[in-house]
Structure 1
Amino acid sequence: MQRYTTTTILLHWLIAALIVATFLLGLTMVDIHGLTPTKLKYFSWHKWLGVTVLGLACLRMLWRLKNPAPAYPAGMPRWEQVSAHALHSLLYVLIFAVPISGYCYSLAAGVPVVYLGVLPLPVLMAPNPELKPLLKLAHYVLNMILLGGVGLHVLAAFKHLFIDRDGVFKRILPRSIIN
Protein backbone atom coordinates (compact mmCIF):
# COMPACT_ATOMS: atom_id res chain seq x y z
CA MET A 1 0.00 0.00 0.00
CA GLN A 2 1.40 3.37 -1.01
CA ARG A 3 1.30 5.97 1.74
CA TYR A 4 1.56 9.71 1.97
CA THR A 5 4.85 11.08 3.25
CA THR A 6 5.24 11.80 6.95
CA THR A 7 5.39 15.54 6.16
CA THR A 8 2.16 15.35 4.17
CA ILE A 9 0.44 13.44 6.97
CA LEU A 10 1.62 15.97 9.57
CA LEU A 11 0.49 18.94 7.48
CA HIS A 12 -2.86 17.30 6.67
CA TRP A 13 -3.80 16.69 10.30
CA LEU A 14 -2.35 19.97 11.58
CA ILE A 15 -4.23 22.02 8.98
CA ALA A 16 -7.41 20.00 9.62
CA ALA A 17 -7.22 20.63 13.37
CA LEU A 18 -6.53 24.33 12.85
CA ILE A 19 -9.44 24.66 10.42
CA VAL A 20 -11.81 23.05 12.92
CA ALA A 21 -10.49 25.30 15.72
CA THR A 22 -10.74 28.41 13.55
CA PHE A 23 -14.26 27.55 12.45
CA LEU A 24 -15.46 26.86 16.01
CA LEU A 25 -13.81 30.03 17.28
CA GLY A 26 -15.48 31.97 14.47
CA LEU A 27 -18.89 30.62 15.45
CA THR A 28 -18.23 31.45 19.11
CA MET A 29 -16.99 35.00 18.54
CA VAL A 30 -19.86 36.07 16.29
CA ASP A 31 -22.33 34.85 18.92
CA ILE A 32 -20.96 37.27 21.52
CA HIS A 33 -23.16 40.38 21.63
CA GLY A 34 -21.54 43.78 21.61
CA LEU A 35 -17.88 44.66 21.44
CA THR A 36 -16.34 43.03 24.50
CA PRO A 37 -12.70 42.36 25.40
CA THR A 38 -13.38 38.63 25.03
CA LYS A 39 -14.86 39.09 21.57
CA LEU A 40 -11.87 41.20 20.48
CA LYS A 41 -9.48 38.56 21.84
CA TYR A 42 -11.34 35.82 19.95
CA PHE A 43 -11.25 37.86 16.73
CA SER A 44 -7.47 38.18 17.10
CA TRP A 45 -7.06 34.46 17.76
CA HIS A 46 -9.34 33.67 14.81
CA LYS A 47 -7.19 35.81 12.52
CA TRP A 48 -3.97 34.30 13.84
CA LEU A 49 -5.27 30.80 13.24
CA GLY A 50 -6.42 31.78 9.74
CA VAL A 51 -2.99 33.21 8.88
CA THR A 52 -1.37 30.07 10.25
CA VAL A 53 -3.64 27.88 8.09
CA LEU A 54 -2.73 29.97 5.05
CA GLY A 55 1.00 29.69 5.77
CA LEU A 56 0.81 25.94 6.32
CA ALA A 57 -1.30 25.58 3.17
CA CYS A 58 1.48 27.30 1.22
CA LEU A 59 4.01 24.86 2.69
CA ARG A 60 1.71 21.95 1.87
CA MET A 61 1.31 23.05 -1.74
CA LEU A 62 5.08 23.42 -2.17
CA TRP A 63 5.58 19.99 -0.61
CA ARG A 64 2.85 18.48 -2.80
CA LEU A 65 4.56 19.74 -5.97
CA LYS A 66 7.59 17.58 -5.12
CA ASN A 67 5.67 14.74 -3.45
CA PRO A 68 2.53 13.76 -5.38
CA ALA A 69 -0.29 11.84 -3.76
CA PRO A 70 -0.15 8.04 -3.97
CA ALA A 71 -2.13 6.46 -6.78
CA TYR A 72 -5.67 5.34 -6.08
CA PRO A 73 -6.21 1.59 -5.66
CA ALA A 74 -6.54 -0.26 -8.97
CA GLY A 75 -10.08 -1.40 -8.16
CA MET A 76 -11.40 2.07 -7.32
CA PRO A 77 -14.11 3.06 -9.85
CA ARG A 78 -13.23 5.87 -12.26
CA TRP A 79 -16.17 8.06 -11.10
CA GLU A 80 -14.89 7.78 -7.54
CA GLN A 81 -11.35 8.76 -8.58
CA VAL A 82 -12.66 11.79 -10.48
CA SER A 83 -14.91 12.76 -7.55
CA ALA A 84 -12.04 12.40 -5.06
CA HIS A 85 -9.75 14.50 -7.23
CA ALA A 86 -12.43 17.19 -7.68
CA LEU A 87 -13.17 17.32 -3.94
CA HIS A 88 -9.47 17.49 -3.03
CA SER A 89 -8.99 20.30 -5.55
CA LEU A 90 -11.96 22.19 -4.09
CA LEU A 91 -10.61 21.76 -0.56
CA TYR A 92 -7.19 23.09 -1.62
CA VAL A 93 -8.80 26.15 -3.22
CA LEU A 94 -10.92 26.77 -0.12
CA ILE A 95 -7.97 26.34 2.26
CA PHE A 96 -6.52 29.38 0.51
CA ALA A 97 -9.71 31.29 -0.30
CA VAL A 98 -11.22 31.27 3.20
CA PRO A 99 -8.29 32.93 5.01
CA ILE A 100 -7.65 35.32 2.11
CA SER A 101 -11.31 36.40 2.11
CA GLY A 102 -11.17 36.91 5.88
CA TYR A 103 -7.97 38.93 5.56
CA CYS A 104 -9.51 41.14 2.87
CA TYR A 105 -12.70 41.51 4.93
CA SER A 106 -10.64 42.66 7.91
CA LEU A 107 -8.78 45.19 5.76
CA ALA A 108 -12.00 46.46 4.18
CA ALA A 109 -13.33 46.96 7.71
CA GLY A 110 -10.25 49.07 8.46
CA VAL A 111 -8.81 46.55 10.92
CA PRO A 112 -5.25 45.53 10.11
CA VAL A 113 -4.11 42.01 10.92
CA VAL A 114 -1.21 41.80 13.37
CA TYR A 115 -0.05 38.18 13.49
CA LEU A 116 0.36 36.96 17.06
CA GLY A 117 0.02 40.58 18.16
CA VAL A 118 3.58 41.42 17.00
CA LEU A 119 3.88 41.05 13.21
CA PRO A 120 1.76 43.50 11.21
CA LEU A 121 0.76 41.96 7.90
CA PRO A 122 0.79 44.12 4.78
CA VAL A 123 -2.20 46.39 4.29
CA LEU A 124 -3.07 45.56 0.69
CA MET A 125 -6.21 47.67 0.50
CA ALA A 126 -7.67 50.75 2.11
CA PRO A 127 -10.78 50.52 4.28
CA ASN A 128 -13.76 50.13 1.99
CA PRO A 129 -17.25 50.32 3.56
CA GLU A 130 -18.89 49.32 0.26
CA LEU A 131 -16.74 46.22 -0.15
CA LYS A 132 -16.87 45.19 3.52
CA PRO A 133 -20.33 43.50 3.45
CA LEU A 134 -19.49 41.67 0.21
CA LEU A 135 -16.26 40.33 1.67
CA LYS A 136 -18.03 39.38 4.89
CA LEU A 137 -20.59 37.42 2.85
CA ALA A 138 -17.86 35.85 0.71
CA HIS A 139 -15.97 34.75 3.83
CA TYR A 140 -19.15 33.24 5.27
CA VAL A 141 -20.18 31.46 2.05
CA LEU A 142 -16.68 30.10 1.46
CA ASN A 143 -16.66 28.80 5.04
CA MET A 144 -19.99 27.04 4.53
CA ILE A 145 -18.73 25.46 1.30
CA LEU A 146 -15.58 24.38 3.16
CA LEU A 147 -17.72 22.88 5.92
CA GLY A 148 -19.70 20.90 3.34
CA GLY A 149 -16.53 19.82 1.54
CA VAL A 150 -14.89 18.68 4.76
CA GLY A 151 -18.08 16.78 5.64
CA LEU A 152 -18.00 14.98 2.27
CA HIS A 153 -14.28 14.30 2.69
CA VAL A 154 -14.85 12.72 6.13
CA LEU A 155 -17.80 10.65 4.85
CA ALA A 156 -15.71 9.39 1.92
CA ALA A 157 -12.83 8.54 4.27
CA PHE A 158 -15.17 6.53 6.50
CA LYS A 159 -16.63 4.79 3.44
CA HIS A 160 -13.12 3.66 2.50
CA LEU A 161 -12.42 2.59 6.08
CA PHE A 162 -15.63 0.75 6.96
CA ILE A 163 -17.26 -0.25 3.65
CA ASP A 164 -14.57 -0.55 0.96
CA ARG A 165 -11.78 -1.55 3.37
CA ASP A 166 -9.31 -0.73 0.62
CA GLY A 167 -6.60 0.97 2.69
CA VAL A 168 -7.24 4.46 1.27
CA PHE A 169 -7.99 5.94 4.70
CA LYS A 170 -4.93 4.35 6.31
CA ARG A 171 -2.59 6.09 3.81
CA ILE A 172 -3.08 9.42 5.64
CA LEU A 173 -2.85 8.05 9.18
CA PRO A 174 0.42 8.30 11.13
CA ARG A 175 2.24 4.97 11.23
CA SER A 176 1.96 4.90 15.03
CA ILE A 177 -1.85 4.69 14.72
CA ILE A 178 -2.02 1.88 12.15
CA ASN A 179 0.73 -0.30 13.67
Structure 2
Amino acid sequence: SLPHWQVLAAKASHWALYALMLALPVVGWALLSAGGFPIVMFKGVNLPAIVPASPALYAWLRDAHGVLARLLFAVALAHLSAALVHAWIYRDGVFSSMVRKVRPRG
Protein backbone atom coordinates (compact mmCIF):
# COMPACT_ATOMS: atom_id res chain seq x y z
CA SER A 1 0.00 0.00 0.00
CA LEU A 2 1.39 3.36 -1.03
CA PRO A 3 1.25 6.49 1.12
CA HIS A 4 -1.53 8.87 0.10
CA TRP A 5 0.91 11.52 -1.15
CA GLN A 6 2.53 9.00 -3.52
CA VAL A 7 -0.84 8.00 -4.92
CA LEU A 8 -1.66 11.68 -5.52
CA ALA A 9 1.78 12.32 -7.04
CA ALA A 10 1.38 9.36 -9.41
CA LYS A 11 -2.06 10.55 -10.54
CA ALA A 12 -0.82 14.13 -10.95
CA SER A 13 2.17 12.99 -12.99
CA HIS A 14 -0.05 10.90 -15.27
CA TRP A 15 -2.39 13.83 -15.87
CA ALA A 16 0.58 16.15 -16.44
CA LEU A 17 2.11 13.76 -18.97
CA TYR A 18 -1.13 13.46 -20.92
CA ALA A 19 -1.81 17.21 -20.79
CA LEU A 20 1.70 18.07 -21.94
CA MET A 21 1.65 15.47 -24.73
CA LEU A 22 -1.53 17.13 -25.99
CA ALA A 23 -0.46 20.73 -25.40
CA LEU A 24 2.97 20.56 -27.04
CA PRO A 25 1.77 19.68 -30.57
CA VAL A 26 -1.08 22.21 -30.37
CA VAL A 27 1.27 24.97 -29.20
CA GLY A 28 3.74 23.91 -31.90
CA TRP A 29 0.99 24.15 -34.52
CA ALA A 30 0.06 27.60 -33.25
CA LEU A 31 3.75 28.56 -33.20
CA LEU A 32 4.22 27.65 -36.85
CA SER A 33 0.95 29.38 -37.75
CA ALA A 34 2.02 32.58 -35.98
CA GLY A 35 5.34 32.45 -37.81
CA GLY A 36 3.60 32.14 -41.15
CA PHE A 37 5.12 28.73 -41.84
CA PRO A 38 3.21 26.00 -43.67
CA ILE A 39 2.31 22.96 -41.59
CA VAL A 40 2.82 19.95 -43.86
CA MET A 41 1.64 16.67 -42.36
CA PHE A 42 2.04 14.38 -45.36
CA LYS A 43 2.82 14.86 -48.99
CA GLY A 44 0.09 17.19 -50.19
CA VAL A 45 -1.70 17.41 -46.82
CA ASN A 46 -1.35 20.80 -45.17
CA LEU A 47 -2.92 21.87 -41.89
CA PRO A 48 -4.62 25.26 -41.77
CA ALA A 49 -3.25 28.07 -39.63
CA ILE A 50 -4.96 28.18 -36.23
CA VAL A 51 -3.74 31.65 -35.24
CA PRO A 52 -2.97 34.72 -37.35
CA ALA A 53 0.61 35.43 -38.38
CA SER A 54 2.13 37.70 -35.74
CA PRO A 55 5.79 38.20 -34.78
CA ALA A 56 4.85 39.01 -31.17
CA LEU A 57 2.64 35.93 -30.84
CA TYR A 58 5.32 33.83 -32.53
CA ALA A 59 7.91 34.94 -29.94
CA TRP A 60 5.55 34.21 -27.04
CA LEU A 61 4.58 30.79 -28.40
CA ARG A 62 8.23 29.93 -29.05
CA ASP A 63 9.00 30.60 -25.38
CA ALA A 64 5.88 28.72 -24.24
CA HIS A 65 6.78 25.72 -26.41
CA GLY A 66 10.26 25.63 -24.91
CA VAL A 67 8.93 25.80 -21.36
CA LEU A 68 6.37 23.07 -22.03
CA ALA A 69 9.02 20.84 -23.63
CA ARG A 70 11.32 21.21 -20.63
CA LEU A 71 8.41 20.57 -18.30
CA LEU A 72 7.47 17.40 -20.20
CA PHE A 73 11.07 16.20 -19.94
CA ALA A 74 11.15 16.93 -16.19
CA VAL A 75 7.83 15.18 -15.50
CA ALA A 76 8.83 12.16 -17.59
CA LEU A 77 12.20 11.96 -15.81
CA ALA A 78 10.54 12.23 -12.39
CA HIS A 79 8.01 9.56 -13.37
CA LEU A 80 10.75 7.22 -14.57
CA SER A 81 12.78 7.89 -11.43
CA ALA A 82 9.83 7.06 -9.20
CA ALA A 83 9.21 3.83 -11.13
CA LEU A 84 12.84 2.80 -10.74
CA VAL A 85 12.77 3.60 -7.00
CA HIS A 86 9.81 1.25 -6.67
CA ALA A 87 11.62 -1.42 -8.71
CA TRP A 88 15.09 -1.26 -7.19
CA ILE A 89 14.68 0.16 -3.68
CA TYR A 90 11.17 -0.49 -2.37
CA ARG A 91 10.66 -3.73 -4.33
CA ASP A 92 6.97 -3.39 -3.56
CA GLY A 93 5.51 -4.75 -6.79
CA VAL A 94 4.45 -1.36 -8.15
CA PHE A 95 6.96 -1.47 -10.99
CA SER A 96 6.17 -5.06 -11.93
CA SER A 97 2.47 -4.19 -12.07
CA MET A 98 3.31 -1.54 -14.70
CA VAL A 99 5.49 -3.79 -16.85
CA ARG A 100 3.74 -6.41 -18.92
CA LYS A 101 5.41 -9.76 -18.81
CA VAL A 102 6.51 -10.87 -22.27
CA ARG A 103 6.88 -14.60 -22.78
CA PRO A 104 9.25 -15.83 -25.47
CA ARG A 105 7.63 -17.68 -28.35
CA GLY A 106 8.49 -21.23 -29.00
TM-score, length of structure 2 as denominator length = 0.88
Q: Report which structure shows greater RCO (CA 8 Å, sep ≥6).
A: 1
| Counterpart residue type for residue 130 of structure 1 | A
Q: Which protein is richer in strand relative to its size?
A: 2
Q: Deviations over 1:15-67 (max 9, x none)?
A: xxxxxxxxxxxxxxxxxxxxxxxxxxxxxxxxxxxxxxxxxxxxxxxxxxxxx
Contact 2:34–2:55 (CA<8 Å) still a contact in 1? yes
| Counterpart residue type for residue 139 of structure 1 | H
Q: 1:122 to 1:171 in 2, by over 3 A?
A: farther
Mapping of residues 139-154 of structure 1, within 5 Å: 139-154=65-80
- Cα offset, 1:152, TM superposition: 0.2
Q: Does 1:118 align with 2:51?
A: no
Find the counterpart in structure 2 of residue 91 from structure 1: 17
- Cα offset, 1:175, TM superposition: 2.4
Which whole-Å CA distance do the structure 1 matches of 2:97 and 2:41 have between them? 34
Which whole-Å CA distance do the structure 2 matches of 1:168 and 1:118 have between them? 46
Find the counterpart in structure 2 of residue 3 from structure 1: none
Equivalent of 1:158, from 84, 88, 94?
A: 84
Q: Runs of 5+ in structure 1 lacking a partner? A: 1-74
Contact 2:31–2:62 (CA<8 Å) still a contact in 1? yes
Matched positions, count: 103
- Cα offset, 1:171, TM superposition: 2.8
Equivalent of 2:2, from 72, 76, 79?
A: 76
Find the counterpart in structure 1 of residue 94 from structure 2: 168
Mapping of residues 24-63 of structure 1, within 5 Å: none
- Cα offset, 1:99, TM superposition: 1.1
Q: Runs of 5+ in structure 2 lacking a partner? A: none
Identity %: 34
- Cα offset, 1:167, TM superposition: 2.2
Partner secondary structure for residue 43 of structure 2: coil
Runs of 4+ in 1 over 2 A off after TM superposition: 170-175
| Counterpart residue type for residue 161 of structure 1 | A
Contact 2:30–2:49 (CA<8 Å) still a contact in 1? no
